[in-house]
């Protein structure tokens, strides 16, 4: 008996007949969003493809062009080892953002989702046409989508990571350490090197070294540029 793609540990990619128009992701006509769908079985795939195919703003990608899709949707019952392998492969592809349509999402899968660079999650029971299209459009616009309960868990996870792992080491989730961020904040408030040294209990030499290190690492031209960078990226 012939094995299915799922039984071989592979996911079925889009068939050529599922391409709605010729061209690559960059050439999708009329502002349409190119989408590749990966599913562990034909039934899951057919349901998602049927929903998206009816919408003119969606452009279903052929297998030969799947790696050029703006958005990749992975449709599974649950996040298992084969799903993780696929997500890691898609993560290496800078041409696509990956969304997960999943039947059962275990609490432990949240960390896996983060590590695999998943940009959006939708529970399969809620995956009607409008929800799928909203998910695809959000990812194409650089946004993320999460069910409310998962967003709460994610925020709790980030808070716990900052509190238990990073804070004791003087680190933060940003590109700046806690000490660096504090010094940049003081620069933004108009304090000079001597005043920053006094307020932080470091020597002036240390303050100068820290600010120089930040400027070098982030390729910043001067202190004003450093402050602007930190504010634009929400680091201070």
pTM for the model: 0.58
pLDDT at 6: 41
Q: Are strands 71-78 and 58-60 parallel, antiparallel or unpaired?
A: unpaired
189 vs 182: CA distance, rounded Å: 11
Sheet holding 58-60, edge to edge: 58-60, 33-39, 71-78, 97-104, 120-123
Nearest to 123 by CA among 72, 58, 71, 77: 77
For residue range 161-209, list pLDDT tens digits in order: 556 655 565 555 456 777 888 888 888 888 888 999 999 999 999 999 8
Considering Cα of 186, then 187, then 189, then 195, what sign does the dihedral take? Answer: positive
pLDDT at 155: 60
19 vs 5: CA distance, rounded Å: 20
46 vs 21: CA distance, rounded Å: 19
**Could you tell me how many residues make up the chain?**
236
pLDDT at 35: 95
pLDDT at 19: 42
29 vs 179: CA distance, rounded Å: 49
Q: Are strands 120-123 and 97-104 parallel, antiparallel or unpaired?
A: parallel
pLDDT at 22: 36
The SS3 call for residue 116 is: coil
pLDDT at 169: 59
Burial (CB count within 10 angstroms: exposed 0-12, middle 13-18, buried 19+), residue 179 = middle
For residue range 63-82, list pLDDT tens digits in order: 778 888 999 999 999 999 99
Nearest to 70 by CA among 145, 142, 144, 17: 142
Residue 16 CB contacts under 8 Å (≥ 6 apart), including other chains: 62, 63, 64
Q: Flag residues of the chain having pLDDT under 50.
A: 1-10, 16-27, 173
């Amino acid at each position: 008996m012939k094995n299915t793609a799922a039984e071989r540990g592979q996911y079925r990619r889009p068939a050529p007949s599922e391409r709605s128009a010729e061209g690559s992701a960059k050439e999708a006509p009329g502002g349409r969003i190119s989408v590749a769908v990966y599913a562990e079985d034909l039934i899951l795939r057919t349901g998602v493809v049927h929903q998206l195919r009816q919408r003119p703003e969606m452009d279903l990608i052929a297998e030969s062009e799947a790696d050029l899709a703006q958005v990749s949707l992975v449709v599974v019952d649950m996040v298992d080892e084969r799903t993780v392998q696929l997500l890691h492969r898609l993560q290496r592809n800078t041409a696509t953002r990956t969304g997960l349509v999943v039947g059962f999402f275990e609490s432990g899968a949240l960390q896996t989702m983060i590590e695999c660079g998943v940009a959006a999650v939708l529970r399969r029971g809620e995956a009607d046409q409008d929800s799928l299209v909203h998910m695809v459009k959000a990812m194409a616009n650089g946004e993320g989508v999460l069910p409310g309960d998962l967003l709460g868990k994610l925020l709790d996870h980030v808070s716990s990571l900052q509190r238990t792992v990073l804070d004791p080491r003087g680190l933060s989730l940003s590109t700046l350490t806690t000490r660096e961020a504090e010094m940049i904040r003081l620069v933004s408030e108009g304090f000079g090197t001597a005043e920053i040294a006094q307020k932080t209990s470091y020597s002036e030499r240390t303050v100068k070294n820290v600010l120089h290190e930040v400027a070098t690492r982030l390729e910043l031209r001067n202190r004003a540029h450093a402050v602007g960078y930190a504010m634009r990226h929400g680091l201070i």
